[in-house]
Amino acid sequence: MYKKVLLLTLFICSLSFAVYPQKLKTVSLNDSQSDLFLYGPQLEILEDSTSKLTIEDVYKSDKFILHSASPKFAFIKNTTYAYWVRFSLKENKNSNKRWVFENSDPHIDKLEFYYPDKSGKYRCLQAGYAQPFDLRPYAHKNFVFDLPTDTIAKEYYVRIISHNHNPFIFKIQTANYFTFYALNEYYLLGMFYGIMIIMAIYNILVFLSMKERVYILYVIYVLCCCIISLAEDGTGFQYIWSDLPVLNNWISRSSPLLLLVSFSLYSKAFLELKKNLPTLNKVLDIIIATYIAFFFLDIVLLNLQWNFPLYIIPFIVIYFSAILCLRKGFRQARYYLVGYSFMFMSIIFLIFRMSGIIHWSDVFTVYSFNIGLVFEIVILSFALGDRIKIIRTEHEKSQAQIIEQLLENEKLKDTVNRELEQKVKERTVEIAEKNHQLEEMNEKLQLQSEEITRMNLLLDSDNRKLQNNVKELVKARVMVEEVDFEEFSKIFPGEDSCYRYLSELKWDKGYTCRKCFHSRFCEGKDRYSRRCTRCRYDESPTAYTIFHRLKFDIVKAFYMVFLVYANKGKITSLELSQLLQLRQSTCWTFSKKITQAMKERKKNSNDSDTHGWSHIILDPHEPEGGRKNS
């Protein structure tokens, strides 16, 4: 009977809850509280599919739905809607505390906080990731507003628009507690960024020292982690690009891509995948390239925001690659795998939270990425140190091998040198003997050479004498006998030989200038002419000879003198013309000049005819070989 009454009572209570829906629960503030969250029946939610409802519209609306206790915090289900949240507050009569309202998720594009003034009208304060930072009532990375509470319960409204699945993490705090919490939070964030910057600087110095690419890739990876952390916790918008809210969305969407690319390049270099796992290295390159292409395609065309679930695939492949490298005996993967485990878990939390899969709001979830990064940075520092230690050990081992090889080479060199010295000594003795023999042979050859040289000199002297004798004989015969023109041309083959003969004949006893009687001369302007070095008088070899002002070939003229002289002037001009192939008139004129010179020379000279026809060449009124004495 008792059980039936209890069941009936429970059934009636359940019917009463079904018939009479729960109402918004008013939150009472008292001095014993300093920090509380708004969730469950303390909130009412209204989805505005048009995003055009105003505070007047929602104030009178009966479409608000009480938030359930699961999940703990409400969140944006449809990113194209505007969400209105209503809650009610009242303060105890004897409370002297100031209260603030805070939304802990800084990634909401636009948040409008409506509070009633003393006249009952609602005032609006704005903040948001897509709004200028200066619009915020508090210069804080989160959205913070003052609460004008009193003992009468008042309703407050919050309008939210965002392109992400942000949770509604609403907190009511006293001003003192908010200040305490904010200072500690910024202090811890400062430590975090300090650690990141110190590690970046340290690895830059290591890179400058060791010149290994993996360290500069690690620096780029750390800087990308800083960028994504600045975008995630809101401090970047507060301190760096506060005047450019348009960068928030761009950095929030692109920083994960930068993190993926930088971490992949660093991991590939650290694990040496190209050498240890070449096939998996190519697969990882293909996966990263595919993700990058899909990332930009999603931003430009699709806008499905599916890139966050796909974001985890390359990290899984890298984690699997580290395990395989460790199994293959790659010692450097030990610390890397431990540190990456923390990083991998933090990235999973980050991806699930940004994609709306989980809506936890505790400090470990919100700052999971920062916590994972700190652990990873610390452990990877050991990994880098271990890498340096391994490289140093391998370097020392290679140096020991090199030293051992150098010692072996030194021993081998000494052995080879000793053998070479022995062979050099033997060879030196042989060469000395050969040199002695060669010296003896050289002495004999030198004596023979000197004898041959002496005999050659004697032969050359005899040949020169013989040639001169032959030439003199031929010349003498030409001078006194009758020869043909061909044989005559061998003695006087051209004009040059004729002019040279005239010059030697004319000045055989020395030169004296006909103008100033000076005896020094130089070469004149014509062939074999002589010029006085004092008065510059130029005298040609034909001047004052029978050939002066000659109009035809001087070789033929020489031969004509020979013919006329040999025939004692009895050869006719016709015969001369036929022999010399000259005009008869020319032959008659010059032969007449020759016979006249013969008569003049015979009249003025009593010398014997030893010079032959050459004595008639010069002017018969002058002594032979010189000028007329004054």
The angle formed by the CA atoms of residues 52, 58 and 39, to the nearest 5 degrees, is 110
Query: What's the confidence (pLDDT) of residue 499?
Result: 85
Residue 144: which residues within 8 A CB-CB, separation 6 or more? Answer: 100, 101, 102, 136, 137, 138, 178
Distance CA(142)–CA(162), nearest Å, equals 15
Beta bridge partners of 111: 127, 160
Distance CA(564)–CA(575), nearest Å, equals 11
Question: Each residue of 60-114: pLDDT tens digit?
Answer: 888 888 887 666 667 788 888 999 999 988 877 666 788 899 988 888 889 999 9
Distance CA(391)–CA(395), nearest Å, equals 6
Give the burial class of 204: count Cβ atoms within 10 A of its Cβ; 0-12 exposed, 13-18 middle, 19 or more buried: middle
- pLDDT grade for 12, boundaries at 50, 70 and 90: very low
Distance CA(155)–CA(43), nearest Å, equals 10
DSSP assignment of 407-460 equals HHHHHHHHHHHHHHHHHHHHHHHHHHHHHHHHHHHHHHHHHHHHHHHHHHHHHH
7 vs 10, 12, 14, 17, CA distance in Å?
5, 9, 11, 15
Distance CA(292)–CA(257), nearest Å, equals 7
618/290: higher pLDDT: 290
How does strand 122-127 pair with strand 44-48?
Answer: unpaired
- pLDDT grade for 302, boundaries at 50, 70 and 90: low
490 vs 201, 429, 486, 506, CA distance in Å?
102, 64, 7, 22
Residue 131 CB neighbour total at 10 angstroms: 18
120 within 8 A of 55, measured Cβ to Cβ: no
Question: Each residue of 384-412: pLDDT tens digit?
Answer: 667 677 767 777 777 778 888 888 888 88
Rounded percentage of the chain residues whose pLDDT exceeds 70: 81
Distance CA(529)–CA(401), nearest Å, equals 90
Query: What's the confidence (pLDDT) of residue 14?
Result: 43
Query: What type of residue sits at position 104?
Result: S
Query: What's the confidence (pLDDT) of residue 526?
Result: 81
210 within 8 A of 202, measured Cβ to Cβ: no
C-alpha dihedral (234, 239, 245, 249), degrees to nearest 10: -40
Query: What's the confidence (pLDDT) of residue 69?
Result: 62
How big is the chain, counted in residues? 630
395 within 8 A of 401, measured Cβ to Cβ: no
Query: What type of residue sits at position 31?
Result: D
How does strand 530-532 pair with strand 27-29?
Answer: unpaired
Query: What's the confidence (pLDDT) of residue 628?
Result: 41
DSSP state letter for 25: P
Query: What's the confidence (pLDDT) of residue 297?
Result: 80
For residue 523, the SS3 value is strand
**Does residue 365 have a pLDDT over 80?**
no
411 vs 416, 417, 418, 511, CA distance in Å?
9, 10, 11, 87
Distance CA(226)–CA(373), nearest Å, equals 10
Distance CA(462)–CA(444), nearest Å, equals 27
557 within 8 A of 547, measured Cβ to Cβ: yes
Distance CA(135)–CA(245), nearest Å, equals 11
Distance CA(61)–CA(64), nearest Å, equals 7
Q: What is the mean pLDDT of residues 431-458?
A: 82
Residue 33: which residues within 8 A CB-CB, separation 6 or more? Answer: 174
Question: Each residue of 157-169: pLDDT tens digit?
Answer: 999 998 877 788 8
Residue 125 CB neighbour total at 10 angstroms: 17
Query: What's the confidence (pLDDT) of residue 243?
Result: 85
Most distant CA atoms of the chain, gap in Å: 199
How does strand 82-91 pair with strand 27-29?
Answer: parallel
266 within 8 A of 214, measured Cβ to Cβ: yes
Query: What's the confidence (pLDDT) of residue 5?
Result: 41
R_g of the chain, CA atoms, integer Å: 63
**Does residue 471 have a pLDDT over 80?**
no
How does strand 44-48 pair with strand 82-91?
Answer: antiparallel
Distance CA(179)–CA(404), nearest Å, equals 68
Encoded tokens for 440: 């003896």
**Does residue 506 have a pLDDT over 80?**
yes
207 within 8 A of 220, measured Cβ to Cβ: no
- Of 126-140, 192-206, 346-360, 443-457, the one with minimum mean pLDDT is 346-360
Q: What is the edge-to-edge ordering of all strands in the sheet holding 530-532?
A: 521-523, 530-532, 538-539
The closest of 276, 226, 262, 266 to 384, measured between CA atoms, is: 266
Query: What type of residue sits at position 465?
Result: K
Residue 161: which residues within 8 A CB-CB, separation 6 or more? Answer: 51, 82, 83, 108, 109, 110, 128
Query: What's the confidence (pLDDT) of residue 355?
Result: 52
pTM equals 0.55
Residue 393 CB neighbour total at 10 angstroms: 11
**Does residue 299 have a pLDDT over 80?**
no
Q: What is the mean pLDDT of residues 460-482?
A: 53
109 vs 80, 106, 161, 162, 582, CA distance in Å?
12, 8, 6, 5, 126
The closest of 39, 20, 15 to 87, measured between CA atoms, is: 39
372 within 8 A of 426, measured Cβ to Cβ: no
Map 51-71 to HEC letters: CCCCHHHHHCCCCCEECCCCC
Distance CA(277)–CA(288), nearest Å, equals 16
Residue 184 CB neighbour total at 10 angstroms: 10
The closest of 127, 47, 38, 20 to 87, measured between CA atoms, is: 38
Residue 570 CB neighbour total at 10 angstroms: 9
**Does residue 478 have a pLDDT over 70?**
no
78 within 8 A of 46, measured Cβ to Cβ: no
587 within 8 A of 577, measured Cβ to Cβ: yes
